[in-house]
Amino acid sequence: MKIVVLDGYTLNPGDLSWDGLRALGELTLYERTPVAETVARTQDADIILLNKAPLTAEMLGQLPKLKLVSVLATGYNIVDTKAARAHGVTVCNVPTYGTRSVAQMTFAHLLNLTQHVAEHSQAVRAGRWTNSADFCFWDFPLVEIADKTMGIIGFGRIGQSTALVAKAFGMHVLAYDVMLKASPDPEVPLVDLDTLFAQSDVISLHCPLTPETTGIVNAARLAQMKPTAYLINTSRGPLVVAQDLADALNRGQIAGAGVDVLPVEPPPATNPLLTAKNCYITPHISWATSAARERLMDMTIANIKAFLAGTPQNVVN
């Protein structure tokens, strides 16, 4: 059984072990794979593991030995799942490994927006406090989040985990999810998007990227938000129209944004959010805590074992 990992560096830059995969077959590891080399590197593969390396219909048609594609992530839009099914190739993902880590990053961004810890720390290191006439100072409004309302778009596992943290901070929570007929949390009412955008002090995105959700945050929706409200996106970059968000931030139409994802990654220097006011960007790392990556590795191994046993799990095609 030949197993090829096309882009293993982000999952394991050296702090995890690949031994669990080696025990399942002949393992070939690549840190990164240019698109032009994908077919050559996987020509004899029975199993392909990938994170962001694309696997198109054309590529799949040139891989006659391929039986399984296991995505090293929850999102699987990099694989043409219909073409895979047509070629008899099973595609699976890992849906639950990063739930708590993503919820944690959501609040890292929210607390940064409301407290500006790093910027105040930098001011202290620059000597501002040492030379202050007063016992304290602050350069930004300090916002208490208790009794504020968080609106969550996408109320699946991560959205629900985020709601639990919000409630622990004393926040009220609203949710929108087109797939749900009733809220799984009696303390979190489901509302329509107009209500959520108008009433929320913080909007946090946790929905999948689909044709219906692409650009769900746009100029019209941003115009519905309070001028004191924040937007947080730890889900998928194309959920937000980047230029519309940048315009809203630069005009002071909303108070700030924290994003861990962008429409194109790495982003081009022309992305307007890179220079927008009160926009804090992290490089798609909400999933990448060591604990989450260990779970991702373990669950990927479990996916392959289940497939080899004839009982595939987490199948997405």
Q: What is the domain-level CATH number for residue 77? A: 3.40.50.720
Residues 176 and 151 in one domain: yes
Backbone angles phi, psi at 172, to 5 degrees: -90, 150
pLDDT, tens digit, for every residue of 33-71? 999 999 999 999 999 999 999 999 999 999 999 999 999
Residue 317 located in a structural domain: no
User: What pLDDT is stored for residue 75 in this prediction?
Assistant: 86
Same domain, 78 and 134: no
58 in catalytic set: no
- Are 196 and 243 contained in the same domain? yes
Q: Give me the residues of the chain with pLDDT under 70, please.
A: none
C-alpha 309 chain-centroid distance: 31
Q: Which of 17, 16, 41 lies closest to 28, judged by CA?
A: 41
Does the residue 39 lie in any domain? yes
- 239 and 151 in a single domain? The answer is yes
Paired with 70 in beta bridges are 49, 92
Closest by CA to 143, choosing from 299, 297, 259, 278, is 278
Q: Which of 172, 221, 236, 293 is catalytic?
A: 236
**pLDDT at residue 29 in the model:** 98
- Are both 277 and 295 inside the same structural domain? no
Three-class DSSP category at 103:
helix
Q: Domain check: are 144 and 49 in the same one?
A: no
Whether the Cβ atoms of residue 197 and residue 224 lie closer than 8 Å to each other: yes
> For residue 40, what are the CA distances in angstroms to 35, 74, 158, 221, 230?
10, 26, 37, 45, 46
Number of domains in the chain: 2
Catalytic residue among 265, 293, 294, 295: 265
Same domain assignment for residues 261 and 303: no
Residue 126 and residue 219: Cα distance in Å, rounded?
38
Among 120, 284, 293, 295, the one annotated catalytic? 284
Q: Which two tokens stand for residue 200?
A: 């929320």
Q: Residue 310: left if φ>0, alpha if ψ -120 to 50, beta else—which one?
A: left
Q: Are 155 and 257 in a shared domain?
A: yes
The parent domain of residue 32 ranges over 2-97+290-308
265 is catalytic: yes
Round to whole Å and give the CA distance between 33 and 11.
14
pLDDT score of 143: 98
100 alpha carbon, distance to own chain's centre: 12
User: Running DSSP on this structure, what letter comes out for residue 275?
Assistant: G
pLDDT score, position 55: 98
Residue 132 neighbours by CB distance under 10 Å: 12
Say if residue 252 is in the same domain as residue 122. Answer: yes
Claim to verify: residue 147 and residue 277 sit in the same structural domain: yes
